[in-house]
Amino acid sequence: MTKQRTGVMLGGVAVVGLLLAGAAVVTNSLDTRAELDAPVDIQDYETIRHLAEQGDADAQFRLGTMYAAGRSVAQDASAAALWYQLAAEQGNSQAQLSLGVMYSEGRGVSQDDAEAARWYRQAAKKGNAASQYNLGTVYTEGRGVPQDYAEAVTWYRRAADQGFAYAQGRLGFAYYFGHGVPQDYVSAHMWFNIAASNGDEIAHEIRDRLANEMTREQIAEAQAQARTWSERFQGR
């Protein structure tokens, strides 16, 4: 994914924003990737295909992922989009997310940011954290929807409260720049800290740079807020 620089200095270094490093569009919820990457033998494929043709939404989604990745079948983006569409229309949130990504990237369908946002929204309303993050991203960037930082923060927060590290990092940037929320270095540090603890290496780096612009008291308050948040949401 193309990296885009914000042009803003943080700790004396130009910030590479969270429009980067694969963070702009998430293709699948993190808890499903291992399942989707699992090998599929020909017998399993035939069973999945049969169930999909009978209208089973989960099988339709699974078949879509097989065509998208070229597992057990020839890779075919158009076929993937077709099966995602069938599952998405039945309310499968993973298929809605995947179809949104297809429209965002123009794979198997004509590129259409508005259609991508529409499918992200449907999955986001069902609580799909990756879609909530993607919907926040399109509001941040004004892709397919009017740019609206406050609306972006709403969706980032919903994903962040589910432990979604990219969304937590985006909230850090929102508070640092004052996009959709009042500028607040303590809250920015808090969210970068939480994101870093969940594996976001960029957030880890930016948190440490931000600390150079804060007092010891501010850092201590941010760390206390991060601990309070983690205790509240841990195990959700």
Angle among Cα 73, 78, 84 to the nearest 5 degrees reads: 85
77 occurs within a structural domain: yes
Alpha helices for the chain (secondary structure H): 33-37, 42-53, 57-69, 77-89, 93-105, 113-125, 129-141, 149-160, 165-177, 185-197, 201-211, 216-233
207 occurs within a structural domain: yes
Domain count, the chain: 2
Of 194, 165, 162, nearest in space to 93 by CA: 162
* Digit-coded pLDDT (tens) for 117-139: 999 999 999 999 999 999 999 99
Lookup: tokens for 17: 């924003």
Do both 53 and 112 map to the same domain? Answer: yes
pLDDT at residue 36 greater than cutoff 80: no
67 occurs within a structural domain: yes
Do both 189 and 213 map to the same domain? Answer: yes
Return the higher-pLDDT residue of 30 and 153.
Answer: 153
24 occurs within a structural domain: yes
Q: pLDDT band for position 225 (50/70/90)?
A: very high
Of 95, 77, 78, nearest in space to 86 by CA: 95
Q: What is the CATH number of the domain that holds 60?
A: 1.25.40.10
pLDDT at residue 110 greater than cutoff 50: yes
- The residue type found at 144 is G
In this prediction, residue 44 carries a pLDDT of 87
pLDDT at residue 24 greater than cutoff 80: no
Cβ neighbour number for residue 173 with a 10 Å cutoff = 25
Do both 169 and 110 map to the same domain? Answer: no
Domain end, chosen from 86, 119, 152, is at 119
In this prediction, residue 28 carries a pLDDT of 57
pLDDT at residue 61 greater than cutoff 90: yes
Lowest mean pLDDT among 50-59, 87-96, 196-205: 196-205
6 occurs within a structural domain: yes
137 occurs within a structural domain: no
11 — alpha (psi -120 to 50), left (phi > 0) or beta? left
- Does pTM top 0.75 for this prediction? yes
pLDDT (average), residues 201-215: 94
Angle among Cα 174, 180, 186 to the nearest 5 degrees reads: 45
pLDDT at residue 21 greater than cutoff 70: no
Beta bridge partner(s), residue 165: none
Q: pLDDT band for position 26 (50/70/90)?
A: low
Do both 8 and 61 map to the same domain? Answer: no
Domain of residue 65 covers 31-119
Q: pLDDT band for position 42 (50/70/90)?
A: low
Q: pLDDT band for position 72 (50/70/90)?
A: confident
Q: Would you give the DSSP letter of residue 71?
A: S
